[in-house]
Each structure stands twice: as C-alpha cells, then as structure tokens.
Chains A and B, each alone.
Chain A
Amino acid sequence: MLGEVTGLKIKILEYDDRSIRFLVENIPLALLNAIRRLTISDVPSMAIDYVYFIENSSPLYDEIVAHRLGLIPLTSDRALEKYGPPEECRDNEERPDCYARLYLEAEASDGTKVVYSGDLVSDDEDVQPVYKNIPIVVLGPGQKISFEARARLGRGREHAKWSPVSAATHKYVPQIIVNSEKCYGESCAKCVNVCPKNVLKIKDGRLVVEDELSCSLCRQCEKVCPTDAILVSWKPNSYIMYVESTGVLRPERIVLEASRILEEKAEQLLSELEK
C-alpha cells in the first residue's frame, strides 16, 4: 500500500519561538505520524511533581494547588541535559540530579491577593515558569500560602503536564486544479465565497488559486461549482507538519528529540531481538 518511498525532503515553511510548520516530501505517513505522536507522548520536559506545603490557609485544598502547579509550563531546553531521565527519577527524590526546587511564600494582608506563577522562586535559573501571569490561587485577607515544589523530567504518556506541545498535526499537501475553459470566472465566483480558508481569489476577472497550502481539503468549492471546473486533490507521500510548543522547549528541538527517540526505540528493539 505504501510502496517504496525514497528521497526524503524537508522544507521549513514558518517558524517562530513557539511553533514550526514544515513540508515533508517522500516519507511514509506512518513514520511521520509516529514522530508526531512521540512529540506529544515521549519528548521529556520539566513539570512540578511533588509539593511540600508548609502553610496553606487559602481557599484551595493542597492537592488542588499541587495540581495547578503541575500544569505550569517550565523552561526545559537546558534541563534536558542537566537532569536525570524520567524513568530513573520517578519517585526517586534521593537522586541529586533529578529535581529542581521552586519556592513560594505569599500572604494577603488586607484585601485579596492573586498568587501568580511569576511568584515562584526557582533554585535553577534554567527551570523557570514560561509565563509569569498564570494565576495559582486567590488569597483572602489574612490568608497565607507557603510551599516547596519539586520539578522533574517526565513524559506526556505519564501525565499530560509533561507534554511539551499544545498541538502537533500533519495534513496532506493540497493541490487545486482549475479548468479555465469550464470556469465562468468573475460572473460566478461561487467557490471564492464559499471557501472558508480564503484560498481562491478573482483577479482580472479570472479565478486564481492564491494560498494553496492553507486549503483544508473541505471540497466545498467542488460542491458549489456549477460546471465541475475546480478539482481538489493532494500530493502523494507529502505532508505538512505543524508543531506548537507550550513554551517549555524550542519547537525545532521537540521535532529533533522525537526523531531521535524513534531511532533509539528501533535500535533498542533490534538489540532485544538479537538476544
């Protein structure tokens, strides 16, 4: 069904601090999908896993606060090299290279006070809250909260708080073919108006495909066309992958780690079979 696929090629389409979009040509879909799934479930990142409360007279129970703390994204780019692997650090607080410590102490004197992720004080400058403005709890007058939290590397498959991505998708590469002989152009323009992604435009009275890659393959244009002048299809073995980081790791790092993990998994299974 897949056939032989050779000549893998990648082109970066969009890239910023939080996300990356790239075109992959000549790759079996199953392989790209495995890499995509690994970005969600296996690429490690730091998250708070233990919280020791010294005082908590806030309206939230300890465990609710702890859960909220776990979900705060922590910068992990350098932590990946510094801290022990998830499998060895899980429930192993004795090991010195496993846990980063974050402290917080807050009190509302008069009036209420919102405690934010930015109030956490980390003992490691490489492990910091990505966003400073995530509310943790609202303290009423006279209420106090004080705790020590411990963060370690983990994987999304254990708990979603360790997943470094907020979105990881791939889609087919759209190809839209317009038969200009059948198309009425400006006097019709039905497809232009129906397209939810604004892919099609009328220019100089003629229909043009402006932004082919953002087409969602919904085929609404085909459906409304009175003369079957427009045809939506896709390229074989080519895909557009999109990875959006929660901010814990650079987006390109997530993709690289995922492919490295897949290589290691295959290598490790092979060596198991050799035994």
Chain B
Amino acid sequence: MGKIEVKKLEDTELELIIHDEDHTIGNLIVKLAEDKPGVTYVAYRIEHPLIPRLIVTLMTDGSVKALDVLKETLREIRDLSRQFREEFIRAFSEYEGKKA
C-alpha cells in the first residue's frame, strides 16, 4: 500500500509518485488541496491504466510550503473519514434503536 517516491521537492513545488494508489486517492487529494490558501496548481496523473502508480504535483505561491499543504490535506482526509465512520455508527445505531 502507498509507497512514496519523491521526484521533486522544493518549497513551492512538489512532485511525488505514490505506488499502488489510483484515482480514488488522487482525485481526493486534488479536490481537497486546490482550495487551500497559497496553492496555485495541484493535479494528479496516472500514466498508464495497467501501471498502478499515481503522480501528484503541487505548486504554491511561496506563502506556504508545498509539502505542508499536502500533509495538511492528508490529515484532513484522515480526520474526515474518521468523522464519517463515527457519525455512520451513530446514525446506524439510532436507526436500529428506532426499529426495536
């Protein structure tokens, strides 16, 4: 799962290869990162559908470090999915409780 290879790492520009990941993570990172302050460009690509690797590029205007934005995005994904799961468990037991 998800080994990372750094292709380019500068304060304002970052390019990573994430192995064994696909559009699921790629699109999510891009959509959540694109609105963060300081981000000028963020995109992902998959070079070939049979090669399971995802390439993410992120650029900033210099007010924030590209790597920091990416980390913040990943923390957001982690926290949101935990929140989703907790809320789902709550909603589900509420539903089951009503039925009983």
Q: Are B74 and A41 touching (Cβ within 8 A)?
A: no
Chain A positions 1-39 with a Cβ under 8 Å from a chain B Cβ: 1-3, 8-12, 15, 22, 24, 27-31, 33-35, 37-38
Known interface pairs A34-B25, A272-B3. Does A266 touch B78 (Cβ–Cβ under 8 Å)?
yes
By a beta-carbon cutoff of 8 Å, the part of chain A in contact with chain B is 1-3, 8-12, 15, 22, 24, 27-31, 33-35, 37-38, 41-42, 87, 157, 252, 255-256, 259-260, 262-263, 265-270, 272-273
B40 within 8 A of A: no
Cα of A37 to Cα of B90 in the assembled complex, Å: 23
Interface residue tally for chain B (C-beta within 8 Å): 38
Cβ distance B83 to chain A, nearest Cβ, rounded Å: 5
Assembled-state Cα–Cα distance A267/B2 (Å):
10
Q: How far is the CA of A15 from the CA of B21 in the complex (A)?
A: 31
Chain A proximity mask over B1-33: 1 for CB below 8 Å, otherwise 0: 111100000000000001001111101101110
**In whole angstroms, what is the CA distance A90 to B71 when docked?**
32
Chain B nearest CB, measured from A85 CB (Å): 10
Tell me the dominant secondary structure on chain A's binding face. helix
List 11 A-B residue pairs with CB atoms under 8 Å apart, sorted by A's residue number. A1-B31, A8-B83, A10-B87, A30-B30, A31-B77, A31-B81, A42-B24, A157-B22, A252-B88, A269-B74, A273-B4
Give the number of A-B contacts (CB < 8 Å): 112
Question: In this assembly, does B51 line the interface, its C-beta being within 8 Å of a C-beta of chain A?
Answer: no
> Could you tell me the distance between the alpha carbons of A267 and B81 in the complex, rounded to whole angstroms?
11
Q: A37-B24, A270-B71, A273-B70 are in contact. Are A12 and B3 (CB under 8 A)?
A: no
Which residues of B line the A interface, CB within 8 A? Answer: 1-4, 18, 21-25, 27-28, 30-32, 34-35, 67, 70-71, 74-75, 77-78, 80-85, 87-92, 94-95
* Contact A28 to B74, CB < 8 A, known contacts A10-B91, A273-B67: no
From A11, A41, A260, contact of B24 by CB (8 A): A41
A273 to B16, CA, bound (A): 10
**CB pair B24 A263 closer than 8 Å:** no
Q: Determine if A263 and B25 form an interchain contact, defined as CB atoms under 8 angstroms apart.
A: no
